[in-house]
Amino acid sequence: MVWLLVGYMWLFLHRPFEVWPILGAIRLERVYMLFTMLVWATTAKKEWTENRVNFALCAVAFSITFSTVMSPYVDILNYIPTQDWLKVFIFYLLIMSTVKKEKDLKILTTAFIVCFFLYMLHSFREYQNGKGKWAMDTWRMVGVDSTMNDPNTFGNSIVYALPMLYPLMALFKKKWHWLFLAAYFLLSFRCVQLTGSRSSMLAIGFLLGSCAVASKHRAKIVPTMALCIPLIWFSMNENLKDRYRTIWNPSSNKGATDSALGRVEGFWGGIRNFENSPIWGIGPECHPFTTPTKLQTHQLYGQIIGELGLIGIFAFLSLLGAILFNHWEIIQLRKTLRDVGREKDADYCYRVSGGVVITVFLLLLLGLGGHNMLRYTWVWYAAFQGIAVSILREKVAKVRFAKMTGIDIKTLRLN
């Protein structure tokens, strides 16, 4: 079953049916998901993973669905953003009911990185062949698909995927594994650079800086990174340089200044929408119906407040709380295993949870300049972490049982 989930993951990320129209004509994604659900219903071994994040995501699903139903602007039966998010939620249910073993979690998270690498590689190849987008007076790289190919959206997607390299590194045993890591990171950085997404570039710089400072080799890494900055700068054309200059000199480009002011207006627009409909909001991604500019909020906080109201605020706070409590629980479970000399058995799950927490921080940070409320990242990563918690709970339960029965813990099989 896990390999069927991997197949859908690739279809969702790479979206070949948007690249090659013939695949779209046969409804490849829908047919594949229906087949996966049929296998799940008939032959898959199902066992629900209990975790606090289930309640939180059900609350988010309810808030998104209810606000769509109550929205005066759209009809839920024909509204694509809500339907697409509910598809992501169904995928979450499939993951949480079938993935139980650490081996399967490793397959799922590793496949996510591989699928995303192929997506970036294909997008980079198309950029080299002339596919891009003029925006803010700059020729910018886009994703190869059409749903999430906007330069800023594509750049942010790359940044959100990077923390999942952290658990992947725990599996590296051969030289080519580290070569893949280097190739993945260099491709990620180059793609972000070519998107001209200032928020994504700042976020990837923040990740690099944080990793460098936290490393025990910081005395070598930090100077090396500083020497690379001029090389990175001179590798860009003048359009991109002008784009990134607006980070420290907004007045150098009027479009960039207007873009930043648009984020502020998006937040206050969300507040106005909240005042008009404080309980359930105006409906997900319905902000353009309420403003003369016909633009999205481009701001997570204004989006949640205005489009989902109090119900959505509660739901997303519940999701954040569940993810933080899950990570706290994993830390405690890891300490228990460390006390009996089995800390390595907690390493992968701990890294998965750490990657999720870092990504959630990035979602909140980049949410200052992007409307990422309906991103699949919230849902998929919550599933990864929820399964990691369940796996560690089972390992700790085995250790405690071994203690009570006098079994040698050092020889105990936990995987």
Which range (47-56, 77-86, 171-180, 246-255) has the least confidence? Answer: 246-255
pTM as predicted:
0.91
Contact in structure between 57 and 18 (CB atoms under 8 Å): no
| Dihedral sign of CA atoms 68, 69, 72, 77 in order | positive
Summarised one tens digit per residue, pLDDT across range 27-67 is 788 888 888 888 888 888 888 888 999 999 999 999 999 99
For residue 191, the enclosing domain spans 2-411
At residue 359 the predicted structure's pLDDT band, cuts being 50, 70 and 90, is: very high
Percentage of the chain surpassing pLDDT 70?
Answer: 93
Summarised one tens digit per residue, pLDDT across range 294-316 is 878 888 999 999 999 999 999 99
pLDDT for the residue numbered 88: 93
Three-class SS state of 140: strand
Contact in structure between 335 and 157 (CB atoms under 8 Å): no
pLDDT for the residue numbered 293: 79
Q: Copy the structure tokens of residue 191.
A: 């793609």
Following DSSP, what letter does each residue of 390-403 receive, concatenated? HHHHHHHHHHHHHH
What mean pLDDT do residues 216-244 have? 73
Sequence-ordered list of residues with C-beta below 8 angstroms from that of 126, at least 6 positions apart, any chain: 144
Residue 392 has pLDDT above 70, yes or no: yes
At residue 402 the predicted structure's pLDDT band, cuts being 50, 70 and 90, is: confident
The burial of 314, by beta-carbon neighbours within 10 Å (0-12 exposed, 13-18 middle, 19 or more buried), is given as middle
pLDDT for the residue numbered 255: 57
Split into its structural domains, the chain has a count of: 1
Residue 338 has pLDDT above 90, yes or no: no
